[in-house]
Amino acid sequence: MVPITLFAGFDLVSNMSSDFLPENSIVVGCGSVVLDFLATVAAYPKPDQKIRSTSFKIQGGGNTGNALTCAARLGLKPRIISKVADDTQGKSILDELQADGVDTSFIVVSKEGTSPFTYIIVDNQTKSRTCIHTPGFPPMKPNDLLESSLFAALNGARIAYFDGRLHETAQVVAREAVKKNIPILMDAERLREGLDDIIKVVDYVVCAEQFPQAWTEAATVPKALVSMLLSLPKLKFVIVTLGKDGCIMLERSEVTSTEEMDVDKLLESLEARKNESIYIPTCISSSATKLRAEGIGTICGRLYIGTAENIPLSELIDTTGAGDAFTGAVLYAICANFATEKMLCFAANVAATKCRALGARSGLPYRTDPRLASFMQ
């Protein structure tokens, strides 16, 4: 039997109050920054219906903008490589990032065209968030970024982040990051043009529920995670987020155990250890073992389940950008050398805090937030 352990955030609470920042906290993100137009509705409209919103907000969005704003509020020093247009939306996007301490000097401002924006309808009944995105124009091209800017952006960076957008530019930035031995984290939402070129050089992946199977064509999520570690030799871990069901993570480990375990069965045994009466995020993990994915291969690793916070319905406002909040917290955890269990509990806490306000950014916690106190010491 593979030993399984349960870890909960409250184990960390102590009277220590020293608060220190990671030594190197520069994170460089390349991807989308947009403006979100959010409207909450009592119930999702039918075609041709006219309804009123019950709450409304205009706020910055985009995976990179959100994840790096989260990272900034947690204490990191983010820089963003992206493109907006010289219009009111573009100005609003830049102002908001700057107010959060994100370095926008590597964001290209196009004289012509339009900045990207997204209409988001939050259904207060189902808590779903429906997005209608309009990409910015003209799209970012590698020539938009001077070589000197690229070097300056990556100078001294602890980690680089990509969201799979702006793939031509992202590929150039990723290649340079690899040259400089800067670790890379990728947020993989779905299959996108050019994604394969970047994912093959990344150290960490955080992905959406459908991604692992879409990318590997494996029969189950655990098998797909094994398949990803097998085909991406640089990959140290992959996390798949599952909304209110938390996340599953597979971490590569060096230890070679003689014991071999079917990865689907191991996940089942971890799931059996979930405790519904614990409302705060927890982490259930296996020890390092040889994991077999039938018909795919074996890998030595540790499997984890991170549970989500059980948020009271009256407090659950909007899940827009929950994944970005989670990823921003993972970026912080990597820079701060958090143990894996602590990282998963921390990220779920940060994401759950975000879900208590409308929009991808309003609810993002600051490092001084009492909810995070037990992690920040």
Ligand X SMILES: *[C@@H]1O[C@H](CO)[C@@H](O)[C@H](O)[C@H]1NC(C)=O
CB of 34 vs ligand ATP, minimal distance in Å: 13
Measured CA to CA, the distance from residue 135 to residue 85 in angstroms comes to: 11
Which uninterrupted H or E stretch holds 292? strand 289-293
Q: Are 74 and 367 in contact (CB under 8 A)?
A: yes
Segment contacting ligand ATP by CB under 6 A, of 132-140, 170-178, 190-198, 241-249: 241-249
Q: HSE, CB side, 13 Å, CA atoms: give it for residue 159.
A: 29
Going residue by residue from 185 to 214, which x/- string records binding to ligand ATP, judged by CB under 6 A? -----------------------x------
The answer to the question of residue 250 lying near ligand ATP (CB under 6 A) is no
Question: Residues 6 or more apart from 264 whose CB is under 8 A from it?
Answer: 220, 222, 223, 293, 294
Q: Does 55 bind ligand X (CB under 6 A)?
A: yes
Which residue among 90, 246, 328, 359 contacts ligand ATP (CB under 6 A)?
246
To the nearest 10 degrees (0 to 180), the angle between helices 63-74 and 88-99 is: 20
Q: Kindly list the distances between the CA atom of residue 182 and the CA atoms of 27, 28, 212, in Å, as whole numbers in the listed order.
A: 10, 10, 24
Under a CB-based contact definition with an 8 Å cutoff, are residues 34 and 118 in contact? yes
Q: Is 377 in the site for ligand X (CB under 6 A)?
A: no
The DSSP code sequence of 16-76 is -------S--EEEEES--EEEEEEEESSPPPTT-----SEEEEEEESHHHHHHHHHHHHT-
Q: Which H/E stretch holds residue 327?
A: helix 322-335
User: Per rule CB under 6 A, is residue 311 in the interface with ligand ATP?
Assistant: yes
Beta carbons within 8 Å of 324's beta carbon, 6+ residues apart: 63, 66, 67, 70, 187, 360
Tell me which of 29, 90, 321, 365 binds ligand ATP, using CB under 6 A. 321
Residue nearest to ligand ATP (CB): 323
For the record, the structure tokens of 197 come out as 């070129």
Would you count residue 348 as binding ligand ATP (CB under 6 A)? yes
Does an H or E element contain 222, and which? helix 221-231
DSSP label at residue 103: B
Q: Does 5 sit near ligand X (CB under 6 A)?
A: no
Q: Is 278 in the site for ligand X (CB under 6 A)?
A: yes
Answer yes or no whether residue 322 interacts with ligand ATP by CB under 6 A: yes
Tell me which of 323, 359, 363, 365 binds ligand ATP, using CB under 6 A: 323
Choose which of 92, 124, 220, 310 interacts with ligand X (CB under 6 A).
Answer: 124
Q: What is the DSSP secondary structure assignment for residue 295, as one 8-state letter?
A: T
Residue 242 touches which member of ligand X, ligand ATP, none, C-beta under 5-8 Å by kind = ligand ATP
| Contacted by 124, from ligand X, ligand ATP, none: CB < 5 to 8 Å by type | ligand X
Q: Mask 64-93, x = binds ligand ATP (CB under 6 A)? A: ------------------------------
Q: Which of 113, 142, 194, 243 binds ligand ATP (CB under 6 A)?
A: 243
What is the spatial distance between Cα 237 and Cα 225, in angstroms, rounded to a whole number?
Answer: 9
Candidate segments 159-167, 270-278, 328-336, 361-369, binder of ligand X by CB under 6 A: 270-278
In the complex with ligand ATP, which residue's Cβ is closer, 26 or 322?
Answer: 322
Among 5, 105, 128, 275, binds ligand X (CB under 6 A): 275
State the binding partner of 277 from ligand ATP, ligand X, none, CB within 5 to 8 A by kind: ligand X
Closer by beta carbon to ligand X, 54 or else 98: 54
